[in-house]
């Protein structure tokens, strides 16, 4: 499997390495904050996807089109 790494990820890793060279404690704090934010996101996003999926199943498409408009 071929992994695709975008420029933003490479830039973030390089900045983190630069921060680690400058100050190890700040880099360690940055990694801790990033992992905390990622875990918080994992608590929020799956229930939202579940609710959107249930809405798509339970509410007829015509009702959603009528409420939101044809171009939505």
> Contact at 8 Å (CB) between 27 and 16?
yes
pLDDT digit string, tens, across residues 46-65: 999 999 999 989 988 888 88
Q: What letters, b where the CB count within 10 A reaches 16 and e where it falls short, cover 44-62?
A: eeeeeeeeeeeeeeeeeee
Q: What angle do CA 7, 9, 11 make, to 5 degrees?
A: 70
> What pLDDT does 53 receive?
92
> What pLDDT does 9 receive?
85
> What pLDDT does 72 receive?
64
Global model pTM greater than 0.75: no
Reported as a pLDDT band with limits 50, 70 and 90, residue 1 is low
């Amino acid at each position: 499997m071929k992994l695709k790494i975008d420029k933003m990820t490479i830039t973030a890793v390089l900045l983190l390495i630069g921060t680690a060279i400058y100050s190890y404690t700040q880099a360690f704090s940055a990694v801790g904050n990033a992992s905390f934010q990622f875990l918080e996101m994992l608590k929020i996003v799956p229930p939202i996807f579940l609710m959107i999926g249930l809405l798509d199943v339970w509410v007829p498409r015509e009702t959603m089109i009528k409420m939101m408009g044809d171009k939505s």
